[in-house]
Amino acid sequence: MASVPVAVEVVAAVLVLLPSAAPQELPAPWGWACDEGLCVKGVTSDTTTSLNQCKLTCGPESAVWPRPASIEHSSEVAFFLPTNVTRRVSCQDAVCPLLDQAIDLFLDNLQKYHPDYAGGSAPWEGPWDASIVSHTLDLDVTIWNADDRLSLETDESYQLFVTTIADKTNAQVVAATYFGARHALETLSQLVDYEEGVDALMVVSAATVVDVPAFPYRGILLDTSRNFFSVQSIERTLDAMAANKLNTFHWHITDSHSFPMQLETLPNMAYYGTYSSRKIYTTTEIRNLVEYGRIRGIRVLPEFDAPAHVGNGWQWGEEQGLGKLAVCVNREPWQSYCVEPPCGQLNLANPKMYDVLGQIYNEMVELFSPIDLFHYGGDEVNLNCWNTTDEITSWMDENNFGRDADAYYNQWSVFQEKSRQLLTSANADREVPGILWTSHLTEEGRADQYLDPTKYIIQIWTTGTDYLIGELLEKNFRVIFSNYDRWYLDCGFGAWVGEGNNWCSPYKGWQAVYDNSPLDIATDLTGSAHEELILGGEAALWSEQADEMVLDARLWPRGAALAERLWTNPSHNWEPAETRLIRQRQRMVARGIMADRIQPQWCHQNEGLCYLKGIHQGCQAMGDAEVAGVTKA
């Protein structure tokens, strides 16, 4: 409960007398003092602390990310070692094993605060010296109900009370569900940091946190078809999501490029569709990832994109006597038949295609079991592909469907309805809400003609100023925001089907991600926030130009900015969040996430001095030079 014991005079003397002091004679002469919520660097004295301690105790939210709905904390800390944490739990049988694992993860995360953390498969004990600190952190966790699966109705709220008496700090967690309790442990881990002067951990000595998310759906999309991502890199993504209380890993597992999903009953899909036999997710790996996510409070949500965005993997139908299952597969010139190479769409004229699709759903429902949502994809159908394929055009003619755009949209919507029925029967007749991307079917005047708002949730990927968003809300569709002008993390790199920049440039900086408010967008477009229809949002990483080598830096820390928007939905812009975001980025790095660097380390040590004053929303779309110009003027 004290500030770091640093021998001030000695340090000062070294400074004055031996300006060429060798590095091992550090610590450096600097200390930090809390001034109106910011840590100010100066020469160390009785009133300064280490930077870590200052960040933990100075600001109103401590170092917690995303900011809790309500938090109060003391400005003192207690030192302890991660080897001196005790646990007491009160929970029902269904969730106690989950809670045990969550506490183990919590302890791992504490170990990782040590700068020498070396990881490895065996539990890392660290160089902690038990003779230095005799203090315990006593966990006391109570979970009321037995829910062990996430749904849109899951209560993720929690309360956390930290108190310190003598040589014990008690951390009491109370939550309705396991999911709330694991969020509480995440928060508690963020009220802890490493203290270099003591070589121990420190925890804020007293805190009261009462917390609840603003939105029930808080996601990250990863596309594993354009490029493959190893299981380890997906696990790392789930770890980082857990650190930010994101709760949905939307797995865009297949596309026209490759089919990396192993299916026991349809081995041909992956056999024909993977980039190589090593670039495959086995059924065991998929099940393990679903469980890995669940322990971290994350639903692994499968997307099976159709009837477009299929292709490689579907070429085996004719050979097996089922006829052509997909058309336009790898057809050229691709510009005429799809939005990017390679092309492919399902063959609506072939009833056997539905048998295969139903079988895929059967296995997916089981692999991701139990599903509470299912993503049907459903975007970017190219009518010219179908309309230039003899098998489809003669089927349209024979049935007198017509051949104009509406005729094709009609057949697409029939396909969608059949898909929904196949999925429902695969799921033992238990209907789950389906998610669909905005598409031609959701365009002006069409959405409620083709889709039932009680059955479908629409994921918006148009811009945040599209009037269509208002129309969907007024037609009572529940929506998930992924407007590409703010929440597409693949934007701002070089083009790959041409030259110059890619289609959705520029890069979306963390500030633009943070400031994107679904409720404000809805209010601007309709005059009402439509809170009950807005389930939340998701940042998307389409992987044409990303694989596991760049994954972490693309997703983080921008995914953290998204997380605070969706967990806290702050009424302010990004500015007051900056110092905590930088801290959260450092924390993710300590946990093994190779998050992007967004500033010089000097900014981390000199809070509030880096950004231009008075930058506001709206400037974010401009380049740095323009922003500088604007502020100067």
Ligand X SMILES: *[C@@H]1O[C@H](CO)[C@@H](O)[C@H](O)[C@H]1NC(C)=O
CB nearer to ligand X: give 387 or 425.
387
The three-class DSSP label of residue 434 is strand
Point out which span in 69-77, 130-138, 153-161, 205-213 binds ligand X (CB under 6 A).
Answer: 130-138
Burial class (CB in 10 A: 0-12, 13-18, 19+), 179: buried
CB nearer to ligand X: give 80 or 456.
80
The three-class DSSP label of residue 479 is strand
For ligand X (CB under 6 A), the number of binding residues is 11
CB nearer to ligand X: give 168 or 279.
168
Cβ contact 27:197 at 8 Å: yes
Residues facing residue 161 across a β-bridge:
172, 208
CB nearer to ligand X: give 408 or 488.
408
Cβ of residue 80: shortest distance to ligand X, in angstroms? Answer: 9
136 binds ligand X (CB under 6 A): yes
Contact set for ligand X, span 476-515 (CB under 6 A): none
Contact set for ligand X, span 81-110 (CB under 6 A): 83-84
Cβ of residue 512: shortest distance to ligand X, in angstroms? Answer: 37
CB nearer to ligand X: give 318 or 404.
404
Cβ of residue 409: shortest distance to ligand X, in angstroms? Answer: 9
CB nearer to ligand X: give 116 or 624.
116
CB nearer to ligand X: give 83 or 233.
83
Cβ contact 252:227 at 8 Å: no
Burial class (CB in 10 A: 0-12, 13-18, 19+), 345: buried
Q: Which positions from 29 to 68 touch ligand X by CB under 6 A, shown as an x/- string?
A: ----------------------------------------
Point out which span in 128-136, 260-268, 501-509, 550-558 binds ligand X (CB under 6 A).
Answer: 128-136
Point out which span in 27-35, 129-137, 430-438, 618-626 binds ligand X (CB under 6 A).
Answer: 129-137
Cβ of residue 379: shortest distance to ligand X, in angstroms? Answer: 17
Cβ of residue 216: shortest distance to ligand X, in angstroms? Answer: 39
DSSP-derived letter for residue 293 is: H
Cβ of residue 304: shortest distance to ligand X, in angstroms? Answer: 25
Q: Which positions from 598 to 617 touch ligand X by CB under 6 A, shown as an x/- string?
A: --------------------
CB nearer to ligand X: give 383 or 603.
383
Cβ of residue 128: shortest distance to ligand X, in angstroms? Answer: 8
Cβ of residue 338: shortest distance to ligand X, in angstroms? Answer: 15
210 binds ligand X (CB under 6 A): no
Task: State how far the alpha carbon of 175 is from the alpha carbons of 43, 327, 396, in Å.
Answer: 43, 51, 56
Which DSSP helix (H) or strand (E) runs through 183? helix 178-190
Handedness of CA 79, 82, 88, 92 (dihedral sign): positive
Cβ of residue 127: shortest distance to ligand X, in angstroms? Answer: 13
Matching residue, tokens 């170092």: 63
336 binds ligand X (CB under 6 A): no
The C-alpha atoms of residue 196 and residue 559 are separated, in whole angstroms, by: 29
**In the set 45, 134, 528, 599, which binds ligand X (CB under 6 A)?**
134
CB nearer to ligand X: give 113 or 292.
113
- Phi, psi of 331, rounded to the nearest 5 degrees: -70, 145
The C-alpha atoms of residue 338 and residue 333 are separated, in whole angstroms, by: 9
Q: Which positions from 383 to 422 touch ligand X by CB under 6 A, shown as an x/- string?
A: x---x---------------xxx--x--------------
Q: Which residues are catalytic?
A: 380
CB nearer to ligand X: give 405 or 549.
405
80 binds ligand X (CB under 6 A): no
Q: Which positions from 358 to 387 touch ligand X by CB under 6 A, shown as an x/- string?
A: -------------------------x---x
Token output for 269: 């899909």
Q: What is the bridge-based pairing of β-strands 534-541 and 217-223?
A: parallel
130 binds ligand X (CB under 6 A): yes
The C-alpha atoms of residue 59 and residue 141 are separated, in whole angstroms, by: 26
Radius of gyration (Cα) for the chain, nearest Å? 27
Burial class (CB in 10 A: 0-12, 13-18, 19+), 632: exposed
DSSP states along 20-73? T--GGGPPPSEEEEEETTEEEEEE--TT-B-HHHHHHHSSTTTT-SSPPSEEEE
Task: State how far the alpha carbon of 514 is from the alpha carbons of 217, 240, 508, in Å.
Answer: 16, 17, 10
Helix H, strand E, coil C: the string for 579-613 is HHHHHHHHHHHHCCCCCCCCCCHHHHHCCCCCCCC
Token output for 217: 């759906």
Cβ of residue 391: shortest distance to ligand X, in angstroms? Answer: 14
The C-alpha atoms of residue 32 and residue 391 are separated, in whole angstroms, by: 73
Cβ contact 214:568 at 8 Å: yes
DSSP-derived letter for residue 121 is: S
Cβ of residue 83: shortest distance to ligand X, in angstroms? Answer: 4
CB nearer to ligand X: give 12 or 339.
339
Other beta carbons within 10 Å of 152: 16
Which DSSP helix (H) or strand (E) runs through 271? helix 267-273
Q: Which residues bind ligand X (CB under 6 A)?
A: 83-84, 130, 134, 136, 383, 387, 403-405, 408
